[in-house]
Amino acid sequence: MFIGDNMTSNWIPNNQNNPNPIPSFYNQGLPLYWRNEQSGQIETAIFRFLNFQNNEVSTPPTDYQIFLIRCYFEHYINALCWQVDNGEILYELREDIKSIKSVESINGWINKALSIGLDPL
């Protein structure tokens, strides 16, 4: 559950076979922010990714944590506020989101998003 939304249940699934657990709720067309998620699972996943990238921990995110990061990125990139796209990179990001399955693919996706001024983290 995200702080500030009106959902009453925890939305993180117990397994990664479920569809994206993040609600398709967009406040005024804007994506929910990962730091406001109340279970702490997305925050833990993203910090594990960032700490691994910065060589602060030697263990990469688990497959489930990568799944949660991908789900958040999917929510983020599909927000209604992102509509203008020069060169169709936004469309590619939306298409590529399902292929995120590793730290390397997270990095590639983030770099592509940054190339058009979007920073999901």
The 10 Å Cβ neighbour count of residue 76 is 22
Integer Cα distance of 32 and 107 in angstroms: 21
Domain boundaries, the chain: 38-114
Mean pLDDT of the chain: 83
- Name which of 13-17, 23-27, 70-74, 116-120 the model is least confident about: 13-17
CA–CA gap between residue 54 and residue 118 (Å, rounded)? 21
Per-residue pLDDT tens over the stretch 64-103: 999 999 999 999 999 989 887 666 899 999 999 989 999 9
Question: Interior CA angle at 46 toward 5 and 70, to 5°?
Answer: 75
Mean pLDDT, range 54-70, rounded to an integer = 93
Name the pTM for this structure: 0.81
